[in-house]
Amino acid sequence: MLNDVGIWLYDLPKCGYFPFRGNAPPTFGGITQSFDALTGWTTGKMLGQTSTFTTSDGDEGGGAYFLQIAKSANGDFLLGLWNGLPGNKNNISSVGVGDVVGSASAQITEIDATRIPGFATYFWIMPTEHRVACIRVKHDSHGMDNFKKYMASFLRSVNPQNVVLGPEGSDREINIVGYRAHVSSPDVVSGVFPKFAVKSIPLPGDIAFLRANAGAINKVICKTTLHSTVPQDLTRWQKLSDLARYFMNPPPLREEAVVKLEFPMEFTTKQLDATIKSWSERDDSELAAGQDDLGFHMRSGETRWLGKSQPRATYQIDVSWFDDELVDMTSLLNQLQVYRTAVLALG
């Protein structure tokens, strides 16, 4: 049946195992190799065994699980993930849209303990062009943050081709010895680190607006993600903690922490161009820039975010459904090939 399918296009500059510093090509791995390895790792597994990361107290999202992957003759992939809902796994709470404010009542819908409440999201990976597109066939959320977290965690601690594990810790925590070039090579390669970076592609019209209104910018806002396993991020966290004088000791960095910094700042057009260029060419030392963004606050009160300036389009596509939630991914990937040139032209 014909569906309005939303497509968001992103840059996929890094996927593999890279030197700690600089913008050198991957020492080993790559987009195709990584998704082929993911395909091999999930083959024969039960869905509940395919999560690559655990959720912590305070996380706004639930876990992510591998549904299926399709690969076309031209090397493109279509990956389906199941996004678990946060909260109590055995029931879903709801309130009525007609409930009066202050007098709402919640109802509980029990869920079979062997089921994972959630929704499906789909991602079209184009290795040759280093692009990835979110494919929205039903839900408002396209799930990009979970996708980045899922793949970054796979490369970091799961990938059987490249991850070298040591004995489990006393609390059964994963002990990563290092990373090897191939499963047949026992030697750990020193000085490499997994990186999975997805970047937004700012729209030319939004850049033109900022350039035309450079004199109206009075503040810049930077959001970035620090990761506890990245040495550079630990150093940055230490420096940020030292700036907070009310901390007697710097707080420990969780697995991930989102940091937001605001600076009063004015720009000439030349300075603005240099800032945008520097942001777009930044080194992705973090595993996944899930929350990274750069915003320009205008004197009018408006903030323009580069990360929210996103190429997107909607096409009517004949989608084959297995049920109310899951699609035939091989069929959908074949349908998407019709729009491939147009999608890549978005950015």
Where are the domains positioned within the chain?
Answer: 2-96+103-199+310-344, 204-305
Judged on CB neighbours under 10 Å (0-12, 13-18, 19+), 337 is middle
Kindly tell me if the per-residue pLDDT of 244 is higher than 50.
Answer: no
Mean residue pLDDT across the chain: 84
What pLDDT band is residue 282 in, cutting at 50, 70 and 90? Answer: low
- 5-19, 107-121, 149-163, 325-339, range with the lowest pLDDT: 107-121
Is 241 in contact with 247 (CB distance < 8 Å)?
yes
Per the model's pLDDT, the better-predicted residue between 135 and 284 turns out to be 135
For a pLDDT cut of 70, what percent of the chain falls above it?
Answer: 84
Q: How far is CA 176 from CA 31, 64, 158, 256, 284, in A?
A: 22, 22, 10, 18, 21
Kindly tell me if the per-residue pLDDT of 80 is higher than 90.
Answer: yes
What pLDDT band is residue 258 in, cutting at 50, 70 and 90? Answer: low
Tokens of 30: 């790559």
Kindly tell me if the per-residue pLDDT of 192 is higher than 70.
Answer: yes
Kindly tell me if the per-residue pLDDT of 181 is higher than 90.
Answer: yes
Helices (H) and strands (E) in the chain, counts: 7, 15
- 144-148, 201-205, 212-216, 241-245, range with the lowest pLDDT: 241-245
Kindly tell me if the per-residue pLDDT of 340 is higher than 70.
Answer: yes
- 100-114, 124-138, 144-158, 234-248, range with the lowest pLDDT: 234-248
What is the Cα–Cα distance from 234 to 222, expressed in whole angstroms?
18
What is the Cα–Cα distance from 93 to 87, expressed in whole angstroms?
9
Mean pLDDT of all residues in 72-77: 98
Q: Where are the alpha helices (DSSP H) in 68-191?
A: 144-153
Q: How many CB atoms lie under 10 A from the CB of residue 200?
A: 23
* Span 162-174, pLDDT tens digits: 999 888 777 777 8
What is the DSSP-derived secondary structure letter of residue 134? E
- Predicted pLDDT of residue 230: 52
Judged on CB neighbours under 10 Å (0-12, 13-18, 19+), 327 is buried
Mean pLDDT of all residues in 141-160: 93
What pLDDT band is residue 14 in, cutting at 50, 70 and 90? Answer: very high
Mean pLDDT of all residues in 187-206: 88
Q: Which of 31-40, 111-120, 184-193 has the highest mean pLDDT?
A: 31-40
Q: How many CA atoms lie less than 13 Å away from 251 in the CB half-sphere? A: 11
Mean pLDDT of all residues in 298-307: 86
Q: How far is CA 208 from CA 276, 282, 303, in A?
A: 12, 21, 15
- Predicted pLDDT of residue 109: 83
What pLDDT band is residue 256 in, cutting at 50, 70 and 90? Answer: low
- Helix (H) or strand (E) segment spanning residue 277: helix 269-280
Residue with tokens 């605001």: 262
Residues 6+ apart with CB under 8 A from 300: 216
Mean pLDDT of all residues in 21-33: 90
- Predicted pLDDT of residue 226: 61
Phi, psi (deg, nearest 5) at residue 292? -65, 135
**What are the percentages of helix, strand and coil residues in the chain, rounded to 5?**
25, 35, 45
Kindly tell me if the per-residue pLDDT of 284 is higher than 60.
Answer: no
Q: What is the model's pTM?
A: 0.78
Q: How many CA atoms lie less than 13 Å away from 262 in the CB half-sphere? A: 8
